[in-house]
Amino acid sequence: MSDQTTTERARPEPIKAVPVRHPGRWVTIAVLAVLAAMFVHLLVTNDNFRWSFIFSSYEDGKRGVMFTGPVLEGLRGTLLLTVTSMAIGIGLGVVLAVMRLSPNKILSSVAFVYTWFFRAVPRLILAILFGNLNILWSRVGFGLPFDKQIGDLFGIDNFNGQFYSIRAADLLAGFVAGMLALGLSEAAYMAEIVRAGLQSVDQGQSEAAVALGMSRFQVLRRIVLPQAMRVIVPPTGNETIAMVKDTSLVAYVPVAGELWFQLNAVSARTFVVFPVLVAAVIWYLIICTVLMIGQFFLERHYGKGYGAVGKAKQRLRDIEVEQGGRIVDSREGS
């Protein structure tokens, strides 16, 4: 045997790993730290914020502007307006999404025209428009259309074919007008969100459910919607947060029981502008932060079984089933 074959191969030297340097990251962190320090210095040293006006007392014998009675009433109105508008938007949005996916051309066309109109018109204009709809009618009711024309045709004077009616000034004003404007506008956006969620579910699952004898409603409720929620929930949470901020638009309807309307009234009465704006920012930050936390947990709930971690857990469950109910350790039996 030759010396070349018997000679042991020299062991390679250990690799000297040198960590990659990221000077750009440290420069960015330093810049951000300086900016944060400047912002904190501004908040602490600038007397124009008037923190006592915001938190302690804005007038003799009255609490800070954030905690006065009218402002807290406006806060409750904002929350109520958000909930009711989103309820209208989500409920009507689901119906419109199903109509858009319907093979019936009339239903799909009506849903398309609705979403086209309400997505094209700004919400501020819609809010003002709904607040002035009482210009068109003295009363709003349900009944026969063209009732006056039918009465004139048959010679009946003052024929009234309405079954129920209410004064338009009582119905289409204030809170109801703002709620309808925001809710109907939101329905157009929710229709597209729900439609995208429904289309994300494999069509084969619906066909299999129909083959098992389930009705279309059962397929939608038990098969499609539970899986589509993973796609629907994140943008719906974003829409809810956006709705909280859009409620400030109904102050121009006007809706008196709304947060921004009440804060703006304090500003007009005291001639103090900037601290009132800061108070509004703080309240909207608090509300939206709570909603963001709730959105995070909802997304995590409906996202179970998806992504790398979810797939790994599902794979472990599959292996456990294959092993008769438990995962066998490779060291057992040795």
- Residue 8: the pLDDT is 59
Q: Tokens standing for 187?
A: 């329905």
Q: Which of 179-183, 201-205, 215-219, 312-316 has the highest mean pLDDT?
A: 179-183
Within a domain: 19: no
Q: Is 57 left (phi over 0), alpha (psi -120 to 50) or beta?
A: beta
In this prediction, residues 278-292 reach a mean pLDDT of 96
Where does 167-202 have alpha helices with state H?
Answer: 168-171, 174-199
- Average pLDDT taken over every residue of the chain: 85
Q: Tokens standing for 280?
A: 């509004």
**Please, are residues 259 and 74 in contact by the beta-carbon 8 Å criterion?**
yes
Nearest CA to 91 out of 83, 79, 81 is that of 83
The lowest-confidence range among 114-123, 158-167, 249-258, 270-279 is 158-167
Within a domain: 110: yes
Domain range for residue 166? 49-303
Nearest CA to 130 out of 162, 192, 188, 172 is that of 172
- Residue 330: the pLDDT is 44
Cα-flanking dihedrals φ and ψ of residue 203, to 5°? -60, -30
- Residue 99: the pLDDT is 93
Is pLDDT larger for residue 106 or for residue 159? 106
Summarize pLDDT for 3-34 with one digit per residue, the tens: 555 455 677 777 787 888 888 999 999 999 99
Within a domain: 20: no
Burial zone of 176 (CB within 10 Å; 0-12 exposed, 13-18 middle, 19+ buried):
middle
- Residue 293: the pLDDT is 95
- Please check the confidence at residue 333 and state whether its pLDDT lies above 50: no
- Please check the confidence at residue 316 and state whether its pLDDT lies above 80: no
- Please check the confidence at residue 257 and state whether its pLDDT lies above 80: yes
What percent of the chain is modeled with pLDDT above 90? 52
Within a domain: 331: no
- Residue 204: the pLDDT is 86
- Please check the confidence at residue 254 and state whether its pLDDT lies above 90: no
- Total of domains in the chain: 1
Pairing of strands 162-167, 139-143: antiparallel
- Residue 201: the pLDDT is 86
Within a domain: 214: yes
Q: What CATH number is associated with residue 123?
A: 1.10.3720.10
Within a domain: 15: no
Amino acid at 311: K
Within a domain: 270: yes
- Please check the confidence at residue 217 and state whether its pLDDT lies above 90: no
First to last CA, the chain: 40
- Residue 166: the pLDDT is 76
Within a domain: 286: yes
Summarize pLDDT for 104-158 with one digit per residue, the tens: 999 999 999 999 999 999 999 999 999 888 888 777 777 767 777 777 777 777 7
